[in-house]
Amino acid sequence: MSYQALYRVWRPQTFAQVVGQEAITQTLKNAVISKQTSHAYLFTGPRGTGKTSVAKILAKALNCLHPVDGEPDNTCEICTAINEGSEPDVIEIDAASNNGVDEIRDIRDKAKYAPAEAKVKVYIIDEVHMLSTGAFNALLKTLEEPPEHVAFILATTEPNKIPATIISRTQRFDFRRITSADIQKHLALILDDKGISYDQKALAVIARAADGGMRDALSILDQVLSFGQDHVTEANARSVTGSVTTAQLGAYLKAVHGGDAASGMGIIDDILSAGRDSARLLEDLIAYARDLLVQQSAPKLIDAAEMALLDEQFADLAKALPSRWLYHAIDAMSSTQQQLRATNQPDLYLQVLTVRLSEPLPEVSGATAAAAAPAPQRNDADAATIAKLQQAVQQLQATVQTLSTTGTSAPQKAKAAPKRSGRRPAAVNTNAIYPILEHATRDDLNKLKDVWPDVLDRLAGMQKSMMKISEPVAASPDGVIVSFDNDFYIEQVKSDATLLQDMADGLKAMTGRDERVVLVEQKQWPTVRQNFIKEVGFKKSKQQEQENPPLQPQPAPEKQEPEVVKKITDLLGSDNVQIKND
């Protein structure tokens, strides 16, 4: 096929051509210029943000025969071979399909040999988080003590799945999402180069649908160009992306806020009948409500790319819709968004959402309403009243000061009731803790603490944040005891079956055995441990008494009298004989 996709044709070939990652590209350029490059790099970030492209550019910069200010010239033999994918010393590996121990051992063995043509042998491992535990362990030694002529570049979208031992041996660069303004500017550059006219709003629609990924933006632009080659219009862009116009979004929110559920359902039916995606519709509604909140509080934060998509009624709608109702709407739409993932009838849930948003909000308490209500305008009468109140307060303060000076005691205040904690301490499961403590050893605990960071790194983002405040306090072949400094997190972890299973899987992967995890609050742990020592010590002493009962005391043997004394006593009588020891 002669035609190539835009994301392949317009893949950056130098650091300067990379869009939206200036800090990373400048750092790598300076390292190449000063010859202070590392032996291993880790590129992380969302898809389509330039990780693999920068890895190839860095491979060219390290091996280019005629580099210019840290940039590859893309004309020498090495650069040309790398661009064509025929350079034997630059090896690109997909870890999703080559994730076994044997593949990594093969890399480790071949890395010992010097490069055939290039200066540095470069291994680019994409989606490195897909490697197995054994493969990571096989790679670890090579990363720790690599040959001088080898460089590793690891790329991933999920760095939380990479062991901490691997991350600590690399230079990590986090690629950020590309802004909508940068995406629009790059799309305009491509269209100008191809000589194709376009609407600025069409580029804004594509940039918003790309969600920070340049590759996604170029793929969408490819589809829009195929839809209509002469001109890139906003209508074509919305048809391809499934986006809804802001006029429809504003009309829907205005209708449901006014309690007109019928009009809201009609707008939903028109949007879905036009072939728009229901999930995309909810994303657009949430983003539009978010923009309304930003317009109310900080309008300067809405950038030019977002403003290009907003219509004339946006500012009026931001004044008409209360922020409290917008918060309620976003919460309801987010819940519906979760429900759509498990249903094949999205229109039904959207209709329920419409009715829910059309209902009046529940009443709030007086304190909440007063806090949420805007400050009333003060007239002259209010100002006079406030002045009198301030004067009265000043007089009362003076009276209190006088009483304090003269020594007159103020009426004794009622004794304050002791504060009670609203949260009960977490119940201690001694039936699960004591069997672990009976066989717990210091050696098992030290081994567990060594792998505990790796176990946490295998967890997802929110789960990992919760477990960061945990600490293993005891371990045995039967299980582990983990303490938290707050019982709230204990309840959260206990109710999360997925988190408990992920922890058990991580412990099995690191220790090689099934570990039972028991949770305890940190402030309760010393008491639990002392009670265990007392109870177990008492049981052991009773058991020893039953197994080895104490000997019964034997009567003292009667003292034997000498034979001479006995004869005299028998002769004279015991009453007439008195024995004295010299």
Residues 125-150 pLDDT 10s:
999 999 888 888 888 888 888 888 89
Whole-number Å distance between alpha carbons of 299 and 301? 5
Domain-terminating residue out of 115, 150, 174:
174
Residues 305-331 pLDDT 10s:
566 556 667 878 888 888 889 899 999
Residue 413 is assigned to a structural domain of this protein: no
Identify which has the larger pLDDT, 379 or 412.
379
Residue 104 is assigned to a structural domain of this protein: yes
- Pairing state between β 479-484 and 470-476: antiparallel
- Averaged pLDDT for residues 567-575: 57
| pLDDT band for position 513 (cuts 50, 70, 90) | confident
Whole-number Å distance between alpha carbons of 315 and 167? 47
pLDDT of residue 379: 53
Q: Is the pLDDT of residue 154 over 90?
A: yes
Q: Is the pLDDT of residue 419 over 50?
A: no
Burial class (CB in 10 A: 0-12, 13-18, 19+), 511: middle
For residues 59 and 153, the answer to whether their CB atoms sit within 8 Å is yes
Instruction: Return the CATH number at 507.
Output: 3.30.300.180
pLDDT of residue 391: 72
Q: Is the pLDDT of residue 1 over 70?
A: no
| pLDDT band for position 279 (cuts 50, 70, 90) | confident
Which residues, 6 or more positions from 381, have their beta carbon under 8 angstroms from its beta carbon? none
Residue 576 is assigned to a structural domain of this protein: no
For residues 528 and 520, the answer to whether their CB atoms sit within 8 Å is yes
- Same domain, residue pair 21 and 168: yes
Q: Is the pLDDT of residue 524 over 90?
A: no
Local structure of 122: helix, strand or coil? strand
203 lies in which domain range? 180-241
Instruction: Return the CATH number at 188.
Output: 1.10.8.60
Residues 542-562 pLDDT 10s:
554 555 455 445 554 555 556
Whole-number Å distance between alpha carbons of 491 and 187? 49
Q: What percent of the chain has pLDDT over 70?
A: 77
Whole-number Å distance between alpha carbons of 267 and 281? 11
- Same domain, residue pair 150 and 52: yes
- Same domain, residue pair 209 and 333: no
pLDDT of residue 384: 64
- Same domain, residue pair 141 and 278: no
User: Within the chain, how many helices (H) and strands (E) appear?
Assistant: 27, 10
Residues 7-54 pLDDT 10s:
888 889 999 999 989 999 999 999 999 888 899 999 999 888 999 999
Number of domains within the chain: 4
Q: Is the pLDDT of residue 416 over 50?
A: no
For residues 372 and 361, the answer to whether their CB atoms sit within 8 Å is no
Domain-terminating residue out of 205, 222, 241:
241
Please give the DSSP secondary-structure letter assigned to residue 418. Answer: P
Domain-terminating residue out of 123, 140, 174:
174
For residues 233 and 201, the answer to whether their CB atoms sit within 8 Å is no
pLDDT of residue 414: 42
- Averaged pLDDT for residues 285-312: 74
Local structure of 41: helix, strand or coil? strand
Residues 430-440 pLDDT 10s:
777 888 887 88
For residues 173 and 40, the answer to whether their CB atoms sit within 8 Å is no
- Same domain, residue pair 35 and 148: yes
pLDDT of residue 174: 92
- Same domain, residue pair 259 and 337: yes
- Same domain, residue pair 191 and 138: no
- Averaged pLDDT for residues 201-216: 86
- Same domain, residue pair 165 and 206: no
Local structure of 368: helix, strand or coil? helix
Please give the DSSP secondary-structure letter assigned to residue 553. Answer: P
Identify which has the larger pLDDT, 407 or 491.
491
- Same domain, residue pair 150 and 289: no
- Same domain, residue pair 136 and 228: no
Which residues, 6 or more positions from 120, have their beta carbon under 8 angstroms from its beta carbon? 62, 63, 89, 149, 150, 151
- Same domain, residue pair 204 and 251: no
Whole-number Å distance between alpha carbons of 476 and 489? 24
In 3D space, the residue among 482, 520, 483 whose CA is nearest the CA of residue 504 turns out to be 482
Residue 568 is assigned to a structural domain of this protein: no
Beta strands in 51-193 (DSSP E): 90-94, 121-126, 150-156, 171-174
- Same domain, residue pair 441 and 519: yes
Q: What is the mean pLDDT of the chain?
A: 79
